[in-house]
Copies of this chain bind each other. A is one copy, B any other.
Amino acid sequence: MSNELEIFNLKEKFHQFGYKYTEQRQLVLDVLLEHPDLHLSNEDVCEYLKQKKINIGQSTIYRTLIMLEKMQIVRRVDLNDGLARYELFDHDENHAHHHLICMKCGSITDIKNDLLEDLEQQILHDYNFEVKDHCLKFFGLCENCRNKNNYC
């Protein structure tokens, strides 16, 4: 994971936004950076912190995640399970990427290719609606669950 954030001066970035660079915020961000392919809820972050014998108040984690989202260090994703989830913000993509959500096992797969550019052009033309961002989720059966015989 050669994330630009490791090189980038995080302290500086926090200050740009008028935030202080505290240990708690650093530790919350660390969890996100250590799991670049996951979509972590507040509770997930709390769990991973506990595994590392770190205790940070729920409110601080909530606040930090919102803060990280504002700084575009993480992106909030809604996977329809009633929890706010966060993934690292990928500055290489100019729009949110899509997610495959398995209805059986709950696994989540990222789809990196955008594939909506044409559609968004069409929307601009047909509806005169200027798309700024999008959110696309596919619900279905993942490779594993398709191959299993499921006697329910």
Contact = CB atoms under 8 A, between A and B. Distances in A.
Contacts of A128: 142-143, 146
Interface string A129-152: 111111111111111001000000
A141 B132 contact: yes
Nearest to A137: B135
Interface string A23-61: 000000000000000000000000000000000000000
B119 A100 contact: no
By DSSP majority rule, is chain A's interface helix, strand, loop, or mixed?
Answer: strand
A10 interface: no
B103 A132 contact: yes
A109 interface: yes
Interface string A102-135: 1100000101000100011011000111111111
A123 B111 contact: yes
Contacts of A140: 129-133
8 contacts: A78-B78, A100-B123, A100-B131, A109-B129, A111-B123, A115-B119, A133-B138, A136-B136
